[in-house]
A = this chain, B = another copy of it.
């Protein structure tokens, strides 16, 4: 009992915070129908849980309540599943990875805005979205001044707090106080008053450990002890392993050519199992003193830091698999000077990404023979997750790599197609394309030169011949910069929608 109190006093450092403690149900009453709510969290990490669950309960009990929901990136099922099932979400931005809300987006019941994550912050700060009525923020503690110390993700929380009328803080006792100090919070002024962001290396700290808020804004404090429901990562399968090997072969080529050293440049690696596997490959490589400037830290990145292969990771979120999260939380002391958690406006800022010369490694759903990449839309219409930060990094990296297994759905889909059904990353910025078959270095190649290299190095043998046939027949047309046969360009997708396979009968 007294220990618990000591614990709470370390977390609520002023009596004003203590006096604001409410139940999740009471706090949720602050949220009314029609409001816009901003929540902390980035990847299912550092997001509020108890208040969203209480809100969902109200709707399930028959209250009519619809909100617009703004996050940093993906959040846990306590938000995207529970609130979706209860019919509470009208509009959602800027990113998600949850199957329940994905279903409703694709059924047309939730309006979803899929945004560049670095832009989502400035949309809020420039007043281009709704005014935020309530922000719900997971915190480690509330300081003497009413500022909030973030937990395992920063995301858009600092800007949501700044722009919100009222703030509800969920103090999560599952998150150890040893996390304090990992965050480096700075807010950018709006133009024309912006100054340079003074980060010249991933380790540079330029801000404060807490997010400015103040007791005037805090409307309720809720004490919780629910662990983040982070996403399990798939086993490193054979295709992922070979993709990773191919990326390392590409790095080897760059080192031989004198364009990279064996510390590479700061790494950014996307979300998901393939991205995780790619970094595992580096654990067994000869590369060392690696650094990361990225938006997510998954299991393999933690292992790189553990082994000493990597010395520093700058990110906006920690999102290891559930098992790796438990392990990490036991070892926070070890990681404290090796990880910096930044607001996503900083972690994903084109200014810093371009200055540092990040190596951007992201995953594609499909790519076409000319190097355009689709990361978001299945068959041109169905939202998978969203573009996330991939565009922030890929447009500005010194080297921009996209990888994907060469086939999907048990070989029935070719991930290399004549024309992608949606474009997230254009031929202008995709530099290297990697599948388990090999890598295609597209730098300095014209579209037609790219097509040959992509088909030869990246396509699956089952689809190579047909792709080459398309390309050759397109080259019989009269417009030969990016030869296409428009009546056939999307026919592979149509065939899949009709027959369940892109393979010809």
Known: A119-B429, A355-B194, A356-B191. A444 touches B380 (CB 8 A): no
Chain B residue numbers with a CB within 8 Å of A112 are: 446, 481
Chain B residue numbers with a CB within 8 Å of A307 are: none
Q: Does A97 count as interface, using CB distance less than 8 angstroms?
A: no
A398 (CB) vs chain B CBs: closest residue: B191
Q: Does A480 count as interface, using CB distance less than 8 angstroms?
A: yes
A477 (CB) vs chain B CBs: closest residue: B381
Q: Does A378 count as interface, using CB distance less than 8 angstroms?
A: yes
A444 (CB) vs chain B CBs: closest residue: B129
- Counting from the closest, the 6 A-B pairs by CB-CB distance are A191-B357, A108-B480, A423-B423, A381-B479, A382-B479, A111-B446
**Complex formed: what's the CA distance from A128 to B429 in Å?**
13
**Complex formed: what's the CA distance from A200 to B194 in Å?**
7
Q: Does A126 count as interface, using CB distance less than 8 angstroms?
A: yes
Minimum distance in angstroms from A124 CB to a CB of chain B: 11
Is the CB–CB distance between A424 and B424 below 8 Å?
A: no
Chain B residue numbers with a CB within 8 Å of A35 are: none
Chain B residue numbers with a CB within 8 Å of A351 are: 196, 350-351, 354-355
A residues 396-450 touching B (CB-CB < 8 Å): 396, 398, 419, 421-424, 426-429, 431, 443-446, 448-449
Chain B residue numbers with a CB within 8 Å of A128 are: 259, 431, 443-444
Is the CB–CB distance between A486 and B201 below 8 Å?
A: no
A110 (CB) vs chain B CBs: closest residue: B446
**Complex formed: what's the CA distance from A355 to B350 in Å?**
10
Q: Which listed segment binds B: A209-217, A243-251, A490-498?
A: A490-498
Minimum distance in angstroms from A470 CB to a CB of chain B: 13
Q: Does A482 count as interface, using CB distance less than 8 angstroms?
A: yes
A residues 71-124 touching B (CB-CB < 8 Å): 91, 105-108, 111-116, 119, 122-123
Minimum distance in angstroms from A376 CB to a CB of chain B: 9
**Complex formed: what's the CA distance from A107 to B446 in Å?**
14
**Complex formed: what's the CA distance from A442 to B294 in Å?**
29
Is the CB–CB distance between B123 and A443 below 8 Å?
A: yes
Is the CB–CB distance between A200 and B195 below 8 Å?
A: yes
Is the CB–CB distance between A127 and B258 below 8 Å?
A: yes
* Chain A interface helix/strand/loop/mixed: loop
Q: Does A320 count as interface, using CB distance less than 8 angstroms?
A: no
Chain B residue numbers with a CB within 8 Å of A350 are: 350-351, 354, 395-396
Minimum distance in angstroms from A278 CB to a CB of chain B: 20
A266 (CB) vs chain B CBs: closest residue: B192
**Complex formed: what's the CA distance from A428 to B396 in Å?**
16
Chain B residue numbers with a CB within 8 Å of A423 are: 372, 423, 426
Q: Does A197 count as interface, using CB distance less than 8 angstroms?
A: yes
Q: Does A379 count as interface, using CB distance less than 8 angstroms?
A: yes
Q: List 23 A-B contacts (CB under 8 A).
A: A107-B480, A108-B448, A108-B475, A113-B446, A114-B427, A114-B428, A123-B443, A128-B431, A128-B444, A191-B355, A191-B357, A191-B398, A192-B266, A194-B200, A196-B355, A350-B351, A350-B354, A377-B482, A379-B486, A380-B482, A381-B474, A381-B482, A423-B423
> 13 other contacts beyond A351-B355, A489-B490, with CB at 8 A cut-off?
A113-B444, A113-B446, A116-B429, A192-B356, A196-B355, A350-B350, A350-B395, A351-B351, A381-B474, A381-B479, A423-B426, A424-B426, A487-B494
Q: Does A387 count as interface, using CB distance less than 8 angstroms?
A: yes
Q: Does A383 count as interface, using CB distance less than 8 angstroms?
A: yes
Minimum distance in angstroms from A274 CB to a CB of chain B: 22
A490 (CB) vs chain B CBs: closest residue: B486
Q: Does A1 count as interface, using CB distance less than 8 angstroms?
A: no
Is the CB–CB distance between A130 and B355 below 8 Å?
A: no
**Complex formed: what's the CA distance from A64 to B34 in Å?**
72
Is the CB–CB distance between A381 and B483 below 8 Å?
A: yes
Is the CB–CB distance between A426 and B429 below 8 Å?
A: no
Q: Among A354, A477, A493, which residue has the most Cβ atoms of chain B within 10 A?
A: A354
